[in-house]
Amino acid sequence: MSSIPVQFQLDDQQPVEYKLSPTCTLTDFTRIIKNIYKERYWMYSFICHGKMFDLQSEEEFQGMKRLITPKTTLFAVVRTKGGGFGFGGSRFVNVHNNNLLKRYEWSDKAPVWRVVRPGLCLEGYCQNVNCTAYNHQVIINIGLVKFDLNLQKAALSKCPQCQKYVNPITCAFNRCRWKYHGQLELNKNEVPSSVKTNWKTADDAYYRFDSDTEEPVTWLQLIFEARAK
C-alpha cells in the first residue's frame, strides 16, 4: 500500500508536508511530530476533520487514523490547560527537588505487588475493587528504557496484579543509571521551566521520590531514561 500525503498546519505558518504509512502506529506518529516540531512537540494537540487525535491510546489512535485521506490537513493547536486525560500535563512528584529522593534497603516481606526489577519504577494506588492490591500502593516496573510520562503512562502504567490502569504519582530507580528532562509548571501564570539532570547512579537499593511530604506538580513534559550500570 502506498503512503498517504498529509499536511501539518500550525497557525499561519507554511504547512509541512509528510507521508504517512498506512501501517503508522502511535509511536511512529509521535516520532513524526517530534521530527517536525522538535523539542516543542509536547506543546501541541492535533485536530483532523474537527476531531482531536488521541495520543495516549494505540487503539483510539488507530480509530482516528481512519479519518486521514490523501491531502488531509492535521492542525496543530496549543494544548489547553486542564483539558482531558493527557492534556495540560500530568500531576506527579517533583523529581527536580533532590531533597525528596530517599534510599531504601530491600525488604523480604514485601507483597507481590511491590516486587522490583532493575531500572525505572512507577508507583500509584490500584483502584480496581476486584484486585488483591486494591487501595494499595503498587510498583509498576518500567525497566531499562526511555519513558515519556505523558505519552506512555496510559499504555504502561498497569497494576502488576490485575493489569488495570494505575495513575502514577511517584517513581523510583534501582541498579541502573538514570536521568530525566522535562517542562515543569509550578505556576499557571508563569512560563514553564525547562529542567533536566545529568546521569545519576542507583546502586543495589530502592531510590524513591517521597510523594507524601510535598504536593505534586504539573509536568507538561517529563521523560526518563534508565540504563544498565
> Tens of pLDDT along 146-194?
999 988 888 899 999 999 999 999 999 999 999 999 989 887 777 788 8
Q: In sequence order, what are the beta bridge partners of 76?
A: 10, 46
Please identify, among 23, 45, 78, the residue that sits at the C-terminal boundary of a domain: 78
Global pTM value: 0.66
Compute the average pLDDT of residues 1-24: 84
Query: Given pLDDT bands bounded at 50, 70 and 90, which one contains residue 1?
Result: low
- Average pLDDT over every residue of 188-216: 91
Quickly state the pLDDT bin for 83 (edges 50, 70, 90). very low
- Parent domain of 96: 90-227
Residue 87 confidence (pLDDT): 45
16 with 41, same domain: the answer is yes
- Tell me, what's the pLDDT at 41? 76
Q: Give a yes or no: residue 26 inside a domain.
A: yes
223 with 147, same domain: the answer is: yes
Pair (210, 148) in one structural domain = yes
